[in-house]
């Protein structure tokens, strides 16, 4: 006979109550673990997503800078354009290390999309780029290999009928190297769409970024088919020395141009983090309520158990149990209850991490492509220990009550 076996047997006497209480603790732990994972994951997810843009600064037409940055992250298009001459001007800036022009547009896919079978319109995000400078910004981009993908390459800047597809875009369209891609575009100033045909010359490997869902065209071709020759959506760049002073000086030089604004992606990161911080506070409040409810559940279950077993505690004292042993027994029962619930809740949180990530993604819709929930062993350990500690806190009163029972009165009280 051991203390643990005795405590476990006592819990097993009321299986429904014990299970329900453990489920309550488990749910609270699952919420706490998921929230903690979100806390840990979202900052690095935002940071990684922004890093994968490859830029330190973006120069774009005046408007809401965060909206523009979010559109870039999510793969949308800005309504505002800046003249291509800005690119040439910024290229000469002494702080600029590398620079690339980007034109973004949305095309309708008249054939081949999966959604077409359901009758829903399908759209493709088009990025007009200069391959050489774009690759300088994103050296991690690689072409997929294997049957149907071998021989992938970038198009030449002058090409008019070649395209490169991101990993997910190609999967979605079921396209491989050498296949044709049809895009329907309504040019600027026109109302009727024009159909364009491109040959796929490369499919990129998965990057976990917005590039995965993008169809890349040569910059000039993209500008032409959208009827926006000489216009850009953004100019992305990296600075020779990226620090606050250099950034301020760079901004100062280019903000003076009336139609242009400069956005530091550090600023965007800060804005997104603070935006999510509000949501985090709300979710944290829910988690705190869940934990309090679970604690009350534990307190209720253990207190009921102590009341029901009043005579039994009297007997245990009569046959030799000391006050502290009774106190310890009740605490041990609570510890086992809280521990089993907390471990179960942690398993649920780990198993459901993708679901949680998807739910948060849908709720916050930040366009962050990296996983937003990061559950670490340390987080699990802290959550389980926290649940056990709170459970023990809830057990103090019932345990003290059981320990203070006088054997004669306890036995007489329930006979």
Partner 1 sequence: MDAPLIIGRGLCRYYRRGIETVRALDGVDVTIGAGESVAVVGPSGSGKTTLLNVLAGLDAPTGGDLWIGGRPVRGLSEGALTAIRRGFFGYVFQHFHLLPTLTVAENVVLPLLFLRRPLVPNELQRVLDAVGLADRAHHLPRELSGGQMQRVAIGRALIVRPRVLVADEPTGNLDSANAEAILSLFLDLVAREGLALLLSTHNRDLAARCTRILHLKDGRLWDPQAPVTKT
Q: Which residues bind partner 1 (CB under 8 A)?
A: 1-3, 5-6, 9-10, 12-13, 311-312, 315-323, 325, 406-408, 411, 415
Give the position of tokens 């045909």: 197
Name the 3-class secondary structure at 203. Answer: strand
Smallest distance, partner 1 to C-beta of residue 287, A: 35
Kindly provide the residue ranges of all beta strands, DSSP E only, lying in 176-302, ordered along the sequence: 180-185, 194-203, 214-218, 231-232, 234-239, 260-264
Closest distance of CB 321 from partner 1, Å: 4
**Helix ranges restricted to H, 80-214:** 85-91, 131-137, 167-173
Alpha helices in 120-258 (DSSP H): 131-137, 167-173, 219-225, 244-255
Q: Measured from the CB of residue 318, what is the shortest distance to partner 1 in angstroms?
A: 5
Instruction: Find residue 198's DSSP bridge partners.
Output: 181
CA distance 275 to 343: 32
Q: Output the smallest distance, CB 406 to partner 1, in A.
A: 7
Neighbours of 34 (CB within 10 A): 27
Distance CA 200, CA 175 (A): 8
Q: Quick one: 127 or 329, whose CB is closer to partner 1?
A: 329
CB of 302 to partner 1, least distance (A): 17
Q: Distance between CA 134 and CA 70 in Å, rounded?
A: 19
311 vs 396 by CB, closer to partner 1: 311
Identify the H or E element spanning 287.
helix 265-308
Is the Cβ of residue 204 or residue 326 nearer to partner 1 in the bound state? 326
Of 319, 310, 302, the C-alpha closest to 403 is: 310
- Token pair, residue 259, equals 């139609």
- Toward partner 1, which CB reaches closer, 10 or 210? 10
- Which C-beta is closer to partner 1: that of 117 or that of 415? 415
Q: How far is the CB of 6 from partner 1 (least distance, A)?
A: 7
**C-beta of 190 vs 323, nearer to partner 1:** 323
Q: Which is nearer to partner 1, 153 or 323 (CB)?
A: 323
Please give the backbone phi and psi of residue 194, each rounded to the nearest 5 degrees, phi first: -120, 140
Task: Tell me the closest approach of the beta carbon of residue 15 to partner 1, in angstroms.
Answer: 10
226 vs 194: CA distance, rounded Å:
10
Choice between 18 and 21, CB closer to partner 1: 18
C-alpha to C-alpha distances, 382 to 33, 53, 333, 348, nearest whole angstrom: 9, 34, 21, 16
């Amino acid at each position: 006979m051991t203390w643990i076996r005795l405590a476990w047997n006592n819990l097993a006497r009321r299986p429904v109550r014990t299970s329900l209480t453990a489920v309550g603790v488990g749910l609270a732990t699952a919420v706490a673990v998921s929230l903690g994972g979100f806390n840990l994951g979202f900052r690095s997810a935002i940071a990684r997503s922004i890093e994968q843009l490859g830029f330190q600064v973006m120069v774009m037409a005046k408007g809401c800078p965060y909206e523009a940055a979010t559109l870039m992250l999510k793969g949308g298009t800005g309504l505002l354009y800046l003249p291509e001459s800005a690119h040439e001007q910024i290229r000469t800036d002494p702080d600029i290390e590398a620079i690339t022009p980007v034109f973004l547009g949305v095309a309708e896919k008249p054939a081949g999309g999966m959604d077409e079978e359901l009758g829903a319109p399908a759209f493709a995000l088009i990025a007009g780029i200069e391959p050489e400078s774009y690759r300088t910004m994103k050296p991690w981009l690689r072409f997929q290999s294997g049957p149907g993908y071998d021989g992938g390459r970038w198009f030449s800047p002058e090409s008019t009928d070649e395209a490169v597809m991101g990993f997910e875009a190609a999967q979605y369209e079921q396209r491989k190297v050498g296949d044709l891609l049809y895009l329907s575009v309504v040019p600027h100033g026109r109302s009727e769409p024009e159909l364009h045909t491109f040959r796929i010359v490369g499919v990129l490997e998965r990057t976990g970024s917005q590039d995965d869902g993008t169809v890349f065209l040569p910059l000039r071709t993209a500008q032409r088919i959208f009827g926006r020759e000489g216009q850009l959506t953004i100019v992305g760049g990296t600075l020779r020395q990226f620090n606050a002073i250099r950034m301020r000086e760079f901004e100062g030089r280019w903000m003076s141009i009336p139609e242009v604004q400069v956005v530091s992606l550090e600023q965007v990161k800060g804005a997104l983090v603070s935006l999510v911080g509000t949501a985090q506070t709300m979710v944290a409040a829910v988690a705190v309520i869940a934990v309090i409810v679970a604690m009350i559940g534990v307190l209720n279950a253990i207190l009921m158990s102590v009341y029901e077993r009043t005579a039994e505690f009297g007997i245990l004292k009569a046959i030799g149990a000391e006050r502290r042993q009774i106190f310890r027994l009740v605490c041990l029962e609570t510890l086992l209850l809280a521990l089993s619930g907390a471990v179960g809740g942690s398993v649920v949180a780990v198993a459901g991490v993708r679901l949680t990530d998807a739910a948060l993604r849908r709720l916050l819709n930040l366009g962050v492509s990296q996983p937003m929930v990061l559950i670490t062993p340390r987080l699990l350990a802290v959550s389980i220990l926290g649940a056990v500690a709170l459970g023990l806190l809830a057990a103090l009163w019932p345990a003290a009550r059981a320990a203070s029972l006088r054997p004669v009165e306890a036995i007489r009280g329930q006979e």
